[in-house]
Structure 1
Amino acid sequence: MTQTHQAALPSSRVITLGGGCFWCTEAVFVRVKGVLDVESGYCNGHVLNPTYRQVCEGTTGHNEVVRLVYDPQVISLHEVLEIFFVIHDPTTLNRQGNDSGTQYRSGIYLSDEADRAVAQQVLNEVNAAMNGRVVTELQDLHNYSAAEAYHQDYFEHNPDQGYCAFVVAPKVQKFLKTFADKVRHA
């Protein structure tokens, strides 16, 4: 399965999420029914159009993210965020598994102020369920740029690469098992 790259519907919505390595997050969301497009990128840093190498150095302030375009008539923002919070650990500051650094922070980045109330509600629910340990930031989206082409559809093109086989694949399997009713069927 690859990114859908469908034309956005007039009613489509956009949300940008940071849940650790964008390869993991992208690999899940390309499988979600109602998600029209997934793009790996960088946001909320102070350098215009940073490179992957710059972001990994941890000096740009950027986060590795996925920008989702979704159809709210098929999947709601609440449901998108439920999936997001299950597929990563929102309680570890600047870390997901062995990946550490500010570029791996948990974050929800808004393109539309109208999404703030739903995002805050889900964040509050998750935080309550996790005894106040959630470190996910909720911010307006700033300075977004797409990641280099080789990062797009990375898992689909490199399923046998070590990181993909041992880190990405288990997250995809967790999604498939936990959210079977939300899986896109080709």
Structure 2
Amino acid sequence: MNLRQELAAEIRAERFDVIPKGIFFPRQGVLANGEYFGRVNGGAWDKEGDNLIPIEGLAHILNVALGTTAKPAGHYLALFSGATAPAPNWSAASFAAVASEIVSQTEGYTAATRPVWTPANTTTGSIDNMAAVASLTIATASQLNVTGAAMLTSSARGGTTGALVSASLYAAPRVFQNGDIYELGYRINLTV
């Protein structure tokens, strides 16, 4: 049995552990995790927080990378304002509601769609978009509080189709002013 089949069997049998650093498959010794990075107005990069790769995200990664599922048109980043920590059962269908996704262009960010995540190919166990980070122009009448970020396969703000690949509740909320430029990076790691 190859690794894809083994991990798929482990997901179906629910033989994995959701830990603060990601999802661990103890029988295979595999850890899947990720982390978000942000900076405001060209300042210093801050690690926003570690993420959770929900079950739907794991299945998506395995099915696209090692299975027969076609690669989606893109992966997109979303911001949210809710206080709920991501859970393994979160999905694209539930994300916008449970996380309080920020969908307004006047009290959120100005783009009509979620920004695309554009990674560079890798030769290591990590892949990220740090060479081409997503850039969001904040729009707000007073201030905007962002409590987390996520990666999905749908570009539609508030959309409920596709797959939720990752979600992270930040260690502390980010508070933005009108016109701030928020650059967002995401790195996913697979370690054995």
TM range (shorter): under 0.3
**Structure with the largest fraction of strand:** 2
**Structure with the largest fraction of helix:** 1
Superposition TM-score, scaled by structure 2 size:
0.24
Superposition TM-score, scaled by structure 1 size:
0.25
Give the greater-gyration-radius structure (CA).
2
